[in-house]
Amino acid sequence: RQTKKPDSSAIADWNTKKKDLEQIKKDNVPVYARLPASPMRQAANDIIKKLLDQAQELKQQELDAIAAIKNDNAETEAKLQIAMYGEAADKLDKTKAKGAWGAVCTHASTTKANILTSVAVTAICLCQSTDGANANCGHNLNTQWSSGTNDNGEKIQTAWPLIKTACEKRKPPEHITSNTIRATIAQFKSRLGLSLAHKTTSKPLILGETSGSTCDGAAATLCIDYTDALATGGKGITWLSNLEQAADLVDNATGTAAHLKLLAAQQKQLVSQAVQAYTFARYAATLPAATMHQTPLQDIEAKQEAAEKECNKKETDTECQKPCKWNAEAKDEKKKCTLSEEGKKAVENQTDQETGVKNDKTANTTTQPECEEVNKDGKNRCEEEKRGDSKSDKDGVKGRHSLFSYIEIGSHCCCFLELVVLKY
């Protein structure tokens, strides 16, 4: 049976980071020094392990959010390009808008880039007339777009750079927002029908200028008629739809970015809680030990670790027998067989017997009243810590395990502080 080998590169990378963390000092004292074995170290490590699990979940959410923003930004850019040029490209392809004015600038156009698919072509159709010697749109587009002069996209190639340069002289927005895009859409819609010399109620969806109700590219009728395109069953204005979709995508990315900031704040809070747990355990390690006789914690840990390693050697569920237990869902192939809780307790009891010390009910008591409650049978299991320099110490009782318990702190603390800080 093949087993997955540990990622040696990742292990080496982590060992390097761990050493770097261990070198951080304050007043020449390691900030994240490994604490001596104690119930408080176990307790703090238990807390940090839970915080680490939460942090890893948040980290995955952050990675998902970053990926979503990246995808939305890419799709937004594509939608804007398609709206501008009729395809996802960074410039206008003249070959996509070949032919006479009527073949490109009407709702019946079959070219890929036309007044329904491209903002750039729409601008050209409004500014490049079929008459000569007419400077339209404030540009020197005084050449004639006559039949045959754009068979290979020549007029498109000549007109667009001039229009683009003139547009760029206007102060563009520094940032494209959904409001910017929607304002552009609203402005376009508000211009329909406003420049008609001959006011008509039958065709109010004309963009540009006409002396009548037709648009054919001549100087007096240089306009675009969207009536049929916007009628029931019409093709619609696809570049307008692409702009609206781009605005929605910008909204999505903006909302995700706000959520990402919230996740980062939550990560920071978890780091703070982990540091507090470590600091508390470190301070507790400097306090005088309890006077109650205790089984050496190091002995228990050493024997449990040895038993755990023996269990880890079992590679199949049939080999994994008591005091071990099998977990087929374990991600680490080397740790599908681990020491069970019953096995850990058995090791602890055996150590108690060897040292002549047995756990009692005061193990988790922290005050005199709690100790007295479990002493109703008349057997005094509580011993107050006696210190001649402080009367208040008599009010406290220290049991074998205090309020917190389990798991060591050193490696998890360093691991947590490194892993939860997401860099992007």
In terms of C-beta density within 10 A (0-12 exposed, 13-18 middle, 19 or more buried), how is residue 386 classed? exposed
Answer for the pair 148, 162: CB distance below 8 angstroms, yes or no.
no
74 & 60 share domain:
yes
Give the Cα separation of 5 and 3 in Å (integer). 6
Query: 3-state SS of the chain: helix, strand, coil percent to 5?
Result: 50, 5, 45
Give the Cα separation of 309 and 119 in Å (integer). 69
pLDDT digits (tens, 9 = 90+) for 117-144: 999 999 999 888 888 766 677 666 667 8
pLDDT for the residue numbered 186? 95
256 & 309 share domain:
no
What tokens appear for 115 in the block? 């007044």
Local confidence band at 349 (pLDDT 50, 70, 90 cut-offs) = confident
Answer for the pair 303, 345: CB distance below 8 angstroms, yes or no.
no
75 & 99 share domain:
yes
98 & 142 share domain:
yes
Among 111-120, 182-191, 214-223, the range scoring the smallest mean pLDDT is: 214-223
Local confidence band at 20 (pLDDT 50, 70, 90 cut-offs) = confident
pLDDT for the residue numbered 135? 64
Residue 99 has pLDDT above 80, yes or no: yes
| Cα–Cα separations (whole angstroms), residue 170 to 160, 163, 167, 174, 385 | 16, 12, 6, 12, 81
Q: Could you please report the per-residue DSSP string of 373-401?
A: HTTTTS-----B---TT-GGGGGBB--SS
Residue 379 has pLDDT above 80, yes or no: no
Strands 29-30 and 25-26: antiparallel
207 & 335 share domain:
no
With respect to residue 418, please indicate whether it lies within any of the assigned structural domains.
Answer: no
273 & 305 share domain:
no
279 & 301 share domain:
no
Answer for the pair 36, 408: CB distance below 8 angstroms, yes or no.
no
314 & 278 share domain:
no
Domain termination site, one of 356, 371, 398? 356
286 & 255 share domain:
yes
pLDDT for the residue numbered 163? 87
With respect to residue 78, please indicate whether it lies within any of the assigned structural domains.
Answer: yes
Q: What is the Cα 304 distance to its own chain's centre?
A: 39
pLDDT digits (tens, 9 = 90+) for 203-255: 778 898 877 778 998 888 888 999 999 988 899 999 999 999 999 999 999 99
Which residues, 6 or more positions from 303, have their beta carbon under 8 angstroms from its beta carbon?
Answer: 347, 350, 351
301 & 275 share domain:
no
Answer for the pair 86, 298: CB distance below 8 angstroms, yes or no.
no
89 & 219 share domain:
yes
Residue with tokens 């903002």: 119
Domain termination site, one of 290, 307, 328? 290
Give the mean pLDDT of the chain: 78
Report the DSSP beta bridge partners of residue 208: 223
With respect to residue 377, please indicate whether it lies within any of the assigned structural domains.
Answer: no
Give the closest residue to 314 by CA, choosing from 331, 339, 347. Answer: 339
With respect to residue 211, please indicate whether it lies within any of the assigned structural domains.
Answer: yes
315 & 227 share domain:
no
With respect to residue 176, please indicate whether it lies within any of the assigned structural domains.
Answer: yes
Answer for the pair 377, 12: CB distance below 8 angstroms, yes or no.
no
Answer for the pair 316, 1: CB distance below 8 angstroms, yes or no.
yes
Among 103-107, 169-173, 174-178, 383-387, the range scoring the smallest mean pLDDT is: 383-387
Answer for the pair 407, 300: CB distance below 8 angstroms, yes or no.
no
Q: What share of the chain has pLDDT > 90, as a percent? A: 35
Can you tell me the mean pLDDT for 407-417?
39
pTM above 0.75, yes or no: no
Domain that holds residue 303: 295-356
* Crossing angle (nearest 10°) for helices 178-191 and 238-284: 160
Domain count along the chain: 2
With respect to residue 81, please indicate whether it lies within any of the assigned structural domains.
Answer: yes
Residue 389 has pLDDT above 50, yes or no: no
Give the Cα separation of 10 and 5 in Å (integer). 12
DSSP 6: P
Domain termination site, one of 240, 275, 290? 290
With respect to residue 14, please indicate whether it lies within any of the assigned structural domains.
Answer: no
With respect to residue 213, please indicate whether it lies within any of the assigned structural domains.
Answer: yes
Give the closest residue to 177 by CA, choosing from 252, 250, 259. Answer: 250
What is the dihedral angle through the alpha carbons of 151, 98, 126, 242, rounded to the nearest 10 degrees? 180
Which residues, 6 or more positions from 421, have their beta carbon under 8 angstroms from its beta carbon?
Answer: 267, 271
